[in-house]
Structure 1
């Protein structure tokens, strides 16, 4: 899996997960447990990963949603 974006913002994470799900693109949120271990202070960002063959479609979706500055 390839990193699509990295953020500390839980709203952005939820929004992106929802967009990807609606588009039929599977994703995995990495580093959730690390975020919990550091006390949920928002210091450690979480990453959204997608399958390599879906990466371009996912990037296009993020750009269309106005999140081009978030895309890796």
Structure 2
């Protein structure tokens, strides 16, 4: 798996996930439960991961929709 996006913004995560799932690209979200450690202040970023073979096309889809590699 390769990292596609790293961000603190939950709207970016939701938008990116929706875009990729619409194209049948499997997305896995990491660091979802880190808010337990940080006290729910949104300090630690979440990461979206995709399969290695989907990374190129997923990056292009997000770039075309204004989402960069780090939110």
Tell me, yes or no, whether TM beats 0.5: yes
Which 4+ runs in 1 deviate beyond 3 A? none
Report the equivalent of 2:40.
40
- How far residue 24 of structure 1 moved from its aligned partner, in angstroms, is 0.6
Q: What are structure 1's unaligned runs of at least 5 residues?
A: none
Tell me the matched-pair count: 70
Describe how 1:42-57 pairs up with structure 2 within 5 A. 42-57=42-57
Q: CA RMSD in A?
A: 1.1
Query: Aligned with 2:43: secondary structure?
Result: coil
- How far residue 35 of structure 1 moved from its aligned partner, in angstroms, is 2.5
Q: 2-side partners of 1:12 and 1:57: how far apart?
A: 18
- How far residue 36 of structure 1 moved from its aligned partner, in angstroms, is 3.4
Q: 2-side partners of 1:43 and 1:31: how far apart?
A: 12
- How far residue 34 of structure 1 moved from its aligned partner, in angstroms, is 1.1
Report the equivalent of 1:71.
69
1:62 has 2:62 as partner? yes
Q: Give the TM-score normalised by structure 1.
A: 0.90
Q: Give the TM-score normalised by structure 2.
A: 0.91
Report the equivalent of 1:21.
21
